[in-house]
Amino acid sequence: MTSSVPQALDELYHRHLTLTEHTDWAYHRLLPWDRGRDFGQTPWEAGQGTLPPAMALAVETAMLTEVNLPWFTAGLVRLMQDAPDALRQFVHTWTSEEDRHARVLETYLILSRNGDPDARSRLVRTVVREGWDVPGDSPFSVMVYTTLQELATRVFYLNLAQVAREADPVLDRILKTIAKDETLHFAFYRGAVGAYLEEDPERIGAVCDIVPLFTMPGAGMPDFGQRMRSASDHGGYGLPEYLSQVIQPLLRDWGVFEHQVSSGVEAHRRGLADYLSRLERAAQRVAERRRSRGEDR
């Protein structure tokens, strides 16, 4: 029996190319150049920033996640070596689209004087030098990971845009533009994983193993925990959103708990169910903390 996967991947890739033709963007059109001032004449000082500090921190954290792209691409190229053509081509296209994200965010922060640009420049180098190992040991398992990653970033950008709208419409537009890219990346990877699962539902075992391992690239950056707490408290993205807007819809979409599987895979599924109940309890605690903070105000 010949596999239906390569054809499904071809279709997904061509759909991606058609859709991006209409949504393509160039960052010079999005940035507020008129706010730029010479740092030699007017050195940076705390207090010049135009955003609430927690929002500036969330934008910077997103940028630091995006700067891991060279390591991400290196890992994907290695794992996709023997993968069908469409996947290998997609990695190239995906890299060219992701390449704009860190740049537009960092330039925005520099022009709007949010955050110390020297400290940030050192931080970027530390994060990139640290490197990043893409989790997974096959094209399939790495795509389970990247699907989560693309959906998580999509939700992160959209939720942050909602909070940022009032503070700076320019930032709102930048975040929504990036979110559109992430949405299309997510659609490709979700469809690709779906095609592999359709071919062999036993692959659900690998899905169950990868999902609990998910952390954002850059999780090793200094102060990552504090940055994530701040995004959760002020940026509209934390565990409750991760659970209800990322994990749950994705598992439903792939039918992870619906497919008929062997007893061996069932054991992996029970492991995932345990992880989900722990995540639910942790998300509830975060939601309660937010409520009591809101009441304290």
Residues 6+ apart with CB under 8 A from 39: 117
For residues 36-50, b (16+ Cβ closer than 10 Å) or e, as one string? eeeeeeeebeeeebb
- In the region spanning residues 129 to 168, those forming contacts with Fe ion, defined by CB under 5 A, are 150
Gyration radius from the chain CA atoms: 20
DSSP 204-263: HHHHHHHGGG---TTTTSTTHHHHHHHHHHHSS-SHHHIIIIIIHHHHHHHTTTTS---H
What span, in angstroms and rounded, lies between the C-alpha atoms of 77 and 90?
10
**Site for Fe ion (CB under 5 A): which residue of 16, 101, 113, 203?**
101
Query: What's the closest the beta carbon of residue 178 comes to Fe ion, in angstroms?
Result: 6
Q: Which stretch binds Fe ion (CB under 5 A): 7-15, 96-104, 165-173, 219-227?
A: 96-104
Comparing CB distances to Fe ion, the nearer of 185 and 203 is: 185
Query: What's the closest the beta carbon of residue 98 comes to Fe ion, in angstroms?
Result: 5
CA-nearest of 19, 183, 14, 135 to 85 is 14
- Residue 126's alpha-carbon distances to 44, 69, 213, in angstroms, are 21, 14, 23
Comparing CB distances to Fe ion, the nearer of 250 and 283 is: 250
Comparing CB distances to Fe ion, the nearer of 58 and 261 is: 58
Could you tell me how many residues of this chain bind Fe ion (CB under 5 A)? 5
Comparing CB distances to Fe ion, the nearer of 185 and 227 is: 185
Query: What's the closest the beta carbon of residue 281 comes to Fe ion, in angstroms?
Result: 30
Query: What's the closest the beta carbon of residue 61 comes to Fe ion, in angstroms?
Result: 13
Comparing CB distances to Fe ion, the nearer of 151 and 261 is: 151
Going 274 to 277 to 282 to 283, the CA torsion angle's sign is positive
Query: What's the closest the beta carbon of residue 266 comes to Fe ion, in angstroms?
Result: 33
CA dihedral 175, 177, 179, 185 (to 10 degrees): -150
Query: What's the closest the beta carbon of residue 190 comes to Fe ion, in angstroms?
Result: 12
Q: Which stretch binds Fe ion (CB under 5 A): 5-13, 93-101, 197-205, 288-296?
A: 93-101
Comparing CB distances to Fe ion, the nearer of 101 and 190 is: 101
Residue 241 in contact with Fe ion, rule: CB under 5 A? no
- In the region spanning residues 175 to 214, those forming contacts with Fe ion, defined by CB under 5 A, are 182, 185
What span, in angstroms and rounded, lies between the C-alpha atoms of 73 and 230?
29
Residues that bind Fe ion (CB under 5 A): 98, 101, 150, 182, 185
